[in-house]
Chain A
Amino acid sequence: MKFFVGTAVLTGLILFAVFLWPKPDLAVHEQTVSAATTRLKAVLGSAKLSTAQGIWHLVFPFDFFSSDGPFDRTFGKSWQVLATQSLKQLTPAERNVVELYRWGRAHGFDPEHGRRFVVIPVLARAGVDLNQSPTPIQNSLPHRETVIKLPPVRLTDLIILEEENSQAFPEVPLTPAQWRTLIELVQPCVGLILKDRGLGEEAREGALKFYRAVYAAAGVKEAHFETSVDF
């Protein structure tokens, strides 16, 4: 009798453990979301011509602080070396990288031994500000070819995408304010990474093609265009 009662109790416990306990499905989840929309804050005019676009899933901290990473190529020294220097010795761009590294370490993101990460989907566009006029410059080229200096290619949009499928990754407990700080620190570094991945050059080619078409319509077909990538 004892055996049967014991077995029944045990079976009940096993069934409870297997089907109920590990699954939080029976738990009641309550969620309240309230949002008040201010109808409109501002309407701004702009004249940004985007000529290249890329979507990247950047993994912080690993894509930022890897060996032979983008900062090594940009600054000519590794982020490990930068991190040991005092902020006063660094350029603003280098300082930003170090601040991002220090913020990451303080919040559990260790690029060398850690397993905490966030995936940041970035949509970046680069192009030119058409409010800046191209300037013809005195040329020294043969055949008296006109040289036109175009506005520099810059990042026109840098967007952190809100994606539906991001739930596949582990959650990281960050408050909205901590997320904002991370994005503020990440954004200038993202510019360097994307330039390293060819966004600037692709945008420069696109801008040149656009201006060639515009000037060709005006009858200027032999012009030589110059521009630079500035981000």
Chain B
Amino acid sequence: MHDLPLWLYTWTMSRVLVAFALAYFIFVSCSPAPPVQTADGLRRILQLATAEMLCHEVVYRHDESRWFFLTYGVRETLFSIDLKVQAGFDLSGGWRLVPDPEHQTLRVFLPPPRVLLIDAVDTSIREYFSAGEPLGYLRLRALLKDRTRELEKKAVEQGILDQAQAKAQIFVEGFFKNLGWSRVQVEFKT
């Protein structure tokens, strides 16, 4: 070993390193993926949705990575998407019908309205352009998660719960009058 010239020694050992690095990457790329959980989560609910709010967002994302002077992993995309907020009543939290057949009156007690669902409507995506490597579905969904995070607060500020209550009042009256009640009183718990 002592008799080897420095350049030959370094050259040989760098080849060994490259071999190790190659083996490392093969090991990493062949490692099994995490287990996929596909268990069913089916349950009974009772939710009455009476109002939906649609918002439209234009999203621009630019990613790039630099390692010293080397730029790689450039991704750029511009797209728009609709975000949906749904409000209504969780009836499993308590609703009650109090009939008064003598006066042909029905009193309907409903829980307070609340936001039932917030969703980025994936099928409404309109992509204007994408450049570089594709964004990837995990990055896209993480991005959409961020966009929906503050939407509930905005929707409540813009009066979606009032809308849900007003529409429920009209709907519930109509629904029970259709079933033969001449007077229907709708009351909301607070």
A residues with a Cβ closer than 8 A to B are 2-3, 5-6, 9-10, 13-14, 17, 21-22, 24, 26-59, 63, 117-119, 125, 127, 130-131, 133, 156-157, 159-160, 162-164, 166-180, 183-184, 187, 197-199, 202, 205-206, 210, 213-215, 217-219
**Does B26 sit at the interface, judged by CB under 8 A?**
no
Interface size on B, residues (CB 8 A): 93
> Which B residues from 159 to 184 make CB contacts under 8 A with A?
160, 163, 167, 171, 175-176, 178-181
- Are A174 and B140 neighbours in the complex by a CB distance under 8 Å? yes
**Interface contact A2-B6, CB-CB below 8 Å:** yes
Determine if B175 and A39 form an interchain contact, defined as CB atoms under 8 angstroms apart.
Answer: no
Nearest chain B CB to A200's CB is how many angstroms away? 11
Decide: A160 near B42, CB < 8 A? Known: A21-B21, A179-B140: no
Whether A59 and B77, one on each chain, are in contact in the complex, defined by CB atoms closer than 8 angstroms, is: no
Contact B62 A32 (CB under 8 A): yes
Contact of B6 among A5, A56, A162 (CB under 8 A): A5
A35 lies within 8 A of B60 (CB): yes
> In the docked arrangement, what's the CA distance between A179 and B86, Å?
23
Task: Tell yes or no: B185 within 8 A of A by CB.
Answer: no
A198 with B61, Cβ < 8 A, contacts A130-B171, A218-B179, A218-B180 known: no
Q: Is B82 an interface residue (CB 8 A)?
A: yes
A139 CB, nearest partner CB in chain B, Å: 18
Contacting residue for B38 out of A39, A63, A206, CB 8 A? A63
B1-22 interface bits toward A, Cβ cutoff 8 Å, 1 = contact, 0 = none = 1101110011001100100110
Asked if B99 and A168 sit within 8 Å, CB to CB, the answer is no
Residue of B with least CB distance to A53: B45
Scoring B residues 69 to 92 as 1 if CB is less than 8 Å from chain A, else 0, what string do you get?
Answer: 000000001010110001000000
Q: Is the pair B134, A33 in contact by a Cβ cutoff of 8 Å?
A: no
Interface set of B (CB-CB < 8 Å, partner A):
1-2, 4-6, 9-10, 13-14, 17, 20-21, 24, 33-34, 36-67, 77, 79, 81-82, 86, 97, 99, 101, 106, 117, 119-120, 122-125, 127, 130, 133-148, 154, 158, 160, 163, 167, 171, 175-176, 178-181
- When distances are taken between beta carbons in the complex, the residues of chain A under 8 Å from B34 are 168-169
User: From B24, which residue of chain A is reached at the shortest CB distance?
Assistant: A22
A150 CB to closest chain B CB (Å) equals: 12
Closest to A27 in B: B67
A198: which B residues are within 8 A, CB to CB? 40, 42
Are A30 and B64 within 8 A (Cβ)?
yes
* Cβ-defined contact, A43 with B52, below 8 A: yes
Beyond A37-B55, A187-B123, 14 extra complex contacts between A and B, CB < 8 Å: A32-B63, A33-B60, A45-B167, A47-B175, A57-B37, A130-B48, A159-B117, A160-B119, A166-B141, A171-B136, A171-B139, A205-B44, A217-B97, A218-B181
B95 CB to closest chain A CB, in angstroms? 9
